[in-house]
Amino acid sequence: MNARKRILWHVAPRAPWMTQGRMGMHRDLERILIPAAAIEARVRDLGQTIAAELEREIGGDGTHADHGELVIVPILTGSVMFVADLVRRLPLKLRLEMVGVSSYPGKSMESKGVSIRHELPGTLAGKHVLVIDDILDSGHTLDVVTRLIREQRPASLRTCVLLRKPGKSSLPVAPDYVGFDIPDEFVVGYGLDYDGFYRNLPEIATLRPEAR
């Protein structure tokens, strides 16, 4: 067996070290809602759609008719996995400028209001901005962040979320791009956390009641 095959065998999803022992996280899970392969396929589709639309509007080389640059603004921390995968599907000249937002402190499963942890860049005037978040729940996070960006007068502003819980938001926030609509359940994985854990899970899953 060559080295590559050996490595693949060791990280297979059913590898015992993932489910056993003090450090296992899979035993805390109730149900896998979206398998890793489905996420990967959807991110690939989203990338194609977004790249085609942005290229049509602002060109692919960063020096367009209106000279507007493309800036991707990921909302930290939940969007890190999604952004990392999505931007590699966008063959466009772009910058990444993070904003840090916290709405579910510690073991909370309900939004406690939005606090900005890492300021937005103050340089978005005239830029084409795409804000990316992990999930749209109450909509407060995206509402606050897009308001702050609009104050800077960008050339255009779009929003993209991997997940959306339909019907949850009373705010007029409608993301331009949505990966998956999911039921109104608390989910973890692929960047989403509970008390800071499970972000490294490759799937989107619900937690067993005992783990909450």
Among 58, 138, 145, 157, binds ligand IMP (CB under 6 A): 138
User: Taking the C-alpha atoms of 91, 96, 99 and 104 in order, what is their torsion angle to the nearest 10 degrees?
Assistant: 40
The distance of closest approach from Cβ of residue 62 to Mg ion in the complex, given in angstroms and rounded to an integer, is 28
Neighbours of 203 (CB within 10 A): 21
- Spatial separation of the C-alpha atoms in residues 206 and 34, rounded to whole Å: 10
Is 137 an active-site residue? yes
Residue 137 within binding range of ligand IMP, rule CB under 6 A: yes
Q: At what angle do helices 80-87 and 36-58 cross, to 10 degrees?
A: 60
Residue 179 within binding range of Mg ion, rule CB under 5 A: no
Subset of residues 157 to 186 that bind ligand IMP, contact rule: CB under 6 A: 186
Does residue 138 contact residue 169 with C-beta atoms inside 8 Å?
yes
User: Please, which residue, 78 or 175, has the CB nearer to Mg ion?
Assistant: 78
Does residue 78 contact residue 193 with C-beta atoms inside 8 Å?
yes
* Omega prior to 206 cis, within 30 of 0: no
Residue 199 within binding range of ligand IMP, rule CB under 6 A: no
User: Please, which residue, 70 or 161, has the CB nearer to Mg ion?
Assistant: 161
Neighbours of 32 (CB within 10 A): 16
User: Please, which residue, 43 or 75, has the CB nearer to ligand IMP?
Assistant: 75
Q: What share of the chain is helix, strand, coil (3-state, %, to 5)?
A: 30, 25, 45
Catalytic residue among 137, 181, 184, 193: 137
The distance of closest approach from Cβ of residue 108 to Mg ion in the complex, given in angstroms and rounded to an integer, is 12
Q: Write out the two tokens for 114.
A: 């939005």
Binding segment (CB under 6 A) for ligand IMP, from list 24-32, 38-46, 92-100, 130-138? 130-138
Binding segment (CB under 6 A) for ligand IMP, from list 1-9, 27-35, 51-59, 138-146? 138-146
Binding positions for ligand IMP, rule: CB under 6 A: 75, 78, 103-104, 111, 133-141, 186-188, 192
User: What are the catalytic residues?
Assistant: 137
